[in-house]
Amino acid sequence: MKISIIITLKKDVLDPQGKVIHQTLGGMGYENIKEIRQGKYLEIDIQENDQKKAEEKVEEMCKKLLANLVIENYKIIESQ
């Protein structure tokens, strides 16, 4: 199975990179942006045909290494 996940900073954590991207886009004339938050995207190709089992394993990986739950949230966005 191929599991896709995104990792984003929690709402109340400052995202200076997102802010700079926002400012730059503003400078290019895109003035109606409310906010930009930058995140990470990962694809994990796992040798497991059972979707539920594969997603459980990936969740475990997120909790143990891929995301830092003090500042980040993770979300499985696609399993195929």
Instruction: Please identify, among the stretches 11-19, 22-30, 51-59, the one whose residues bind other proteins according to the rule CB under 8 A.
Output: 11-19
Under the criterion CB under 8 A, does residue 43 sit at the interface with other proteins?
no
Instruction: Please identify, among the stretches 8-16, 22-30, 43-51, 52-60, the one whose residues bind other proteins according to the rule CB under 8 A.
Output: 8-16
Both tokens assigned to 34: 């409310």
Q: Which of residues 20-39 bind other proteins (CB under 8 A)?
A: 20
Kindly give the residue spans of alpha helices, DSSP state H, lying in 1-80: 16-27, 51-61
Q: Across the strands, what pairs with 45?
A: 2
Q: Determine how many CB atoms are found less than 10 A away from the CB of residue 35.
A: 8
Per CB under 8 A, residues contacting other proteins are 13-14, 16-17, 20, 65-66, 68, 70-71
